[in-house]
């Protein structure tokens, strides 16, 4: 399957975005801290606000260390150790899920809210057959019997386009290629038809051609199963192909969020520009915005997180946190001096 198909799918769904329906998942002021050697714990997520509509695909891009994985796992109530959720709410299907008991939360994970992880060969239990691992999801969450679970597992293996699925059911993870293991992980995430799927950098480490296939598959399957998706990636270019909206994460903060076209055509935050420039083929854009990381980063910053690296920062940027201002329909940016496009 080519990328083109995915593009078509996401375009047809663009129209439904931005309605007045209540969001499927609504993350409000989510804050996560890590204990540090000093007196104050280190803030890794500094108040994330993000809402996703049913069926919508939202991209989340940012460099490594920005807090992408922390966000993905914290939505499921499992911040990476030794992190701790320090505040905020996650509303999902009418419930504030961070206040649920561990067992209620567990029943949501993999069932209504699931996650696709990178490096799938390490994520699958090496001693269990992949068919059993997929079927276990259905058994645990849907309460179906062994036979039915196996039938469902076989069906979803077909859906993720694994060749010779009957035989693969009895394969062990070490017998699969990276791309195939990734399909197995996707099958596990989707077998219960979850309302919301988080893809956490799911294709990093795979071949470029395999990456494209997997992404297209992921987008198609999310649509088939009616799942909304948070698509996390380091590569802003990938998100252009099929995300309805894109959020840019920098140092634990969403600095800009916009529907796809405005974000790529009229990026407002200097950091977004820098990101786009880094992936851009236009030498002019690259030269004007590719500012090397000077490494000057203070531990805590009362103002804009990006101020130390920003080429257009003013004194005010370092003292006061900029507001999250709407500069276009659905286009928000956290910057005093958003870049304007003629």
Residues that bind other proteins in the complex, under the rule CB under 8 A: 37, 39, 73, 76, 78, 81, 106-111, 114-115, 117, 119, 122-128, 136-137, 140-141, 172, 174, 185, 188-189
Cβ 135 to other proteins, closest distance in Å?
12
Cβ 187 to other proteins, closest distance in Å?
12
Distance CA 109, CA 100 (A): 12
Give 332's strand partners: 257, 326
Distance CA 105, CA 98 (A): 8
Max Cα distance, the chain (Å): 66
Cβ 238 to other proteins, closest distance in Å?
22
Cβ 229 to other proteins, closest distance in Å?
16
Cβ 112 to other proteins, closest distance in Å?
9
- Phi first, then psi: what are they for 16, rounded to 5°? -75, -10
Q: Are strands 42-52 and 25-34 parallel, antiparallel or unpaired?
A: antiparallel
Cβ 188 to other proteins, closest distance in Å?
6
Cβ 122 to other proteins, closest distance in Å?
4
Residue number with CB closer to other proteins (108 or 273) = 108
CB 193 within 8 A of CB 227: yes
Cβ 78 to other proteins, closest distance in Å?
6
Q: What is the DSSP secondary structure assignment for residue 38, as one 8-state letter?
A: S
Residue number with CB closer to other proteins (129 or 286) = 129
Residue number with CB closer to other proteins (141 or 269) = 141
Residue number with CB closer to other proteins (230 or 276) = 230
Q: To the nearest 10°, the Cα dihedral for 311, 71, 178, 158?
A: -130
CB 66 within 8 A of CB 55: no
Residue number with CB closer to other proteins (103 or 294) = 103
Residue number with CB closer to other proteins (124 or 258) = 124
DSSP string, 301-328: -SS-TTGGG-TT--HHHHHSPPPEEEEE
* Residue bearing tokens 């010779």: 164
3-state DSSP assignment of residue 71:
helix
Distance CA 140, CA 149 (A): 10
Would you tell me how many other CB atoms lie within 10 Å of the CB of residue 157?
Answer: 24
Residue number with CB closer to other proteins (135 or 274) = 135
Residue number with CB closer to other proteins (81 or 294) = 81
338 Cα distance to chain centroid: 25
CB 155 within 8 A of CB 149: no
């Amino acid at each position: 399957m080519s990328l083109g198909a995915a593009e078509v799918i996401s375009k047809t769904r663009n129209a439904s975005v931005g309605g007045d329906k209540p969001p499927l998942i609504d993350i409000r002021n989510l804050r996560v801290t890590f204990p540090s050697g000093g007196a104050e714990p280190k803030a890794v997520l500094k108040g994330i606000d993000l809402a996703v509509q049913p069926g919508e695909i939202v991209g989340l891009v940012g460099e490594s260390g920005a807090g992408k994985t922390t966000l993905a796992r914290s939505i499921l109530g499992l911040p990476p150790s030794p992190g701790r959720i320090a505040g905020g709410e996650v509303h999902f299907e009418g419930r504030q899920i961070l206040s649920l008991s561990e067992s209620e939360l567990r029943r949501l994970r993999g069932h209504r809210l699931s996650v696709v992880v990178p490096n799938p060969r390490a994520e699958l239990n090496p001693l269990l057959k992949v068919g059993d691992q997929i079927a276990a999801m259905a058994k645990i969450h849907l309460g179906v019997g062994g036979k039915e679970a196996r039938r469902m597992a076989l069906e979803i293996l077909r859906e993720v386009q694994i060749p010779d699925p009957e035989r693969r059911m009895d394969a062990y993870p070490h017998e699969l290629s990276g791309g195939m293991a990734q399909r197995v992980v996707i099958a596990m995430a989707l077998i219960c038809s979850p309302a919301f799927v988080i893809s956490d950098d799911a294709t990093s480490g795979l071949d470029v051609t395999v990456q494209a296939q997997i992404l297209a598959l992921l987008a198609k399957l999310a649509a088939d199963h009616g799942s909304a998706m948070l698509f996390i990636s380091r590569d802003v270019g990938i998100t252009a192909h099929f995300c309805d909206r894109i959020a840019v994460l920098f140092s634990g903060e969403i600095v800009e969020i916009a529907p796809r076209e405005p974000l790529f055509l009229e990026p407002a935050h200097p950091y977004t520009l820098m990101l786009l420039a880094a992936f851009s083929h236009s030498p002019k854009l690259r030269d004007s915005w590719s500012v090397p990381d000077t490494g000057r980063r203070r531990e805590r910053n009362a103002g804009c997180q990006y101020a130390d690296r920003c080429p257009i920062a003013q004194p005010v940027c370092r003292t006061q946190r900029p507001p999250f201002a709407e500069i276009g329909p659905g286009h928000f940016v956290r910057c005093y001096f958003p870049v304007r496009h003629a």
